[in-house]
Amino acid sequence: MIPMMLLISALVFFALELAPVDPISYMVSPDMSMDSANLEALRESLGLNDPAYIRYFRWLGNIFKGDFGYSIVDGSSISRIIALKLPATFELALGALILSSVLGIALGIVSAIRQNGIIDYVSRFLGVVGVSLPQFFVAIIIVQLFAVKLGWFPTGGREVYGAVTFWDRLPNLVLPLVTMILSMTAVLVRYTRNTMLDVMSKDYVKTARSTGIAEWKVYIKHVFRNAMGPVLVIIVFRLPMLIGGSVVIESVFAWPGIGSVILGGVSTGDYPVVMMSTLMTSAVILFASFLVDLLTAMLDPRVRFE
């Protein structure tokens, strides 16, 4: 995990080097206006004339100290932007991840146990539909239906300021969350179903069944536990997609998360903001996949003993 993070940070740093901006503009808060002689002195004192690798390590050190630099567009501190926006994305992503995992795994299990039953057919069909409909199109339809026509929920935005509780924020959260859940559940149902079916044809399941224990015990203890490993892996694999997908969702619902920050940064050429947000997002994803690796080890003794 740590070498991976270092590598990504190096990629981010050198991409920033390639971007057509003067680094001084994002190392110094823009309110400190100064003439070019001062600027040159500052450049020397900040060590901007040092070789790239030295500057890389210094930059890395600053990040560890919590100094992320400044936006070149409005001069605000990047750490503040991230601290403000990342929680919004998490609220959405985590909610979608948990709900779609529960829903997807449950439907997948039922589809596998009652193979070719009604639930199986419906969820298989919806599975393909769910991955085929563009998220933003689904979002527009949902907004048109539930926000404009029925007026049940706001069309977008997020309540943050003041002493608002989670329950005050909930109405704004519902529609983007539902949109995200639809497509994520679709993939998971299908994968869970196929993995379950795969495990169900294994010899040890037949053996377990032949010992005469209750059918539901066979499913819970022998099939489900063995199917969970691959399903967890696919959930982790979808984490980056979840964060990436939030860019579109956040744009449609005017959700002030990190996706909006990155999108805004890309549109205005605010490279430092884009790079730092990317770095932070990948750090979170890496950490999450590390947690899931631990979880897999707990579920699967073979991994633990390796």
Partner 1 sequence: MKTKVKSPLQKKIEKLIANRLAIMGFVLVLIILLACIAAPIITDFDPREIDYGAILQAPSKEHIMGTDKLGRDVFSRVLYGGRTSIYIGVAASLSGALLGLVMGALAGYFGGRIDSLFTRLSEIMLTFPNMILILVLTAIIGRGVGVLIFIYAITGWMTPYRMIRSSFLSLREETYVEVARSFGFSDARIIFNHILPNTLSPLMVTATTNVATYILNEAGLSFIGVGIPIQIPTWGSIMNAAKSIDVVTSYWWLWLFPGVILSLFVLAVNFLGDGLRDAFDPKQ
Could you give the residue ranges of the DSSP H alpha helices within the chain? 2-18, 24-27, 36-46, 52-64, 78-113, 118-132, 135-142, 166-200, 203-210, 215-217, 225-252, 258-268, 271-299, 301-305
Comparing CB distances to partner 1, the nearer of 63 and 274 is 274
Smallest gap from residue 141 Cβ to partner 1 (A): 8
Comparing CB distances to partner 1, the nearer of 222 and 238 is 238
Smallest gap from residue 166 Cβ to partner 1 (A): 26
Comparing CB distances to partner 1, the nearer of 30 and 244 is 244
Please give the angle made by the CA atoms of 133, 137 and 143, to the nearest 5 degrees. 130
CA 63 to chain centre: 21
Comparing CB distances to partner 1, the nearer of 21 and 208 is 21
Comparing CB distances to partner 1, the nearer of 83 and 241 is 241
By the criterion CB under 8 A, which residues form the site for partner 1?
4, 7-8, 15, 18-19, 128-129, 131-137, 140-141, 143-144, 148, 155, 194, 237, 240-241, 243-245, 247-248, 251-252, 262-263, 265-267, 269, 271, 274-275, 278, 281-282, 285-286, 289
Instruction: Measure the CA–CA gap between 108 and 102, rounded to whole angstroms.
Output: 10
Smallest gap from residue 154 Cβ to partner 1 (A): 11
Tell me which residue of 247, 271, 259 sits closest to 82, measured CA to CA. Answer: 259
Tell me which residue of 191, 184, 185, 187 sits closest to 112, measured CA to CA. Answer: 191
Smallest gap from residue 88 Cβ to partner 1 (A): 16
Smallest gap from residue 274 Cβ to partner 1 (A): 6
Instruction: Measure the CA–CA gap between 254 and 264, rounded to whole angstroms.
Output: 12
